Amino acid sequence: MIENENYDKSRVHSFSDAVFSIAMTLLVLEVFIPSYKELQTGNTLQILQNRIPSFIGLIVSFMVTALYWIANMRIFKFASTIDSKIL
């Protein structure tokens, strides 16, 4: 069992910030970019309209993750020490 050790607050906060930022970056990588050939052969407006559900999913996922990140920052503001219970 982990003993009651205190951890450096700034390091734990930086690590959690990094985790959230990586998760939000990975969301953007899921956006499909149409190929040049697809744009040449198809209607650009129709191609963009077909992508609307993906963009809505991206925006909702990004906003939910951002809300959790903000909540995490608010919680860390009130923590004076970081121990194994908080981790």
CA distance 21 to 23: 5
The predicted pLDDT at position 21 comes to 93
User: 20 lies in a domain?
Assistant: yes
User: 46 lies in a domain?
Assistant: yes
Q: 20: domain range?
A: 9-78
pLDDT digit string (tens) for 16-72? 999 999 999 998 888 888 888 888 887 888 888 888 888 899 999 999 999 999 999
User: 1 lies in a domain?
Assistant: no
Is the predicted pLDDT of residue 82 greater than 80, yes or no? yes
> H or E segment at 26?
helix 9-29
User: 2 lies in a domain?
Assistant: no
**Number of domains, the chain:** 1
User: 83 lies in a domain?
Assistant: no
Is the predicted pLDDT of residue 85 greater than 90, yes or no? no
Q: What is the CA radius of gyration of the chain?
A: 20
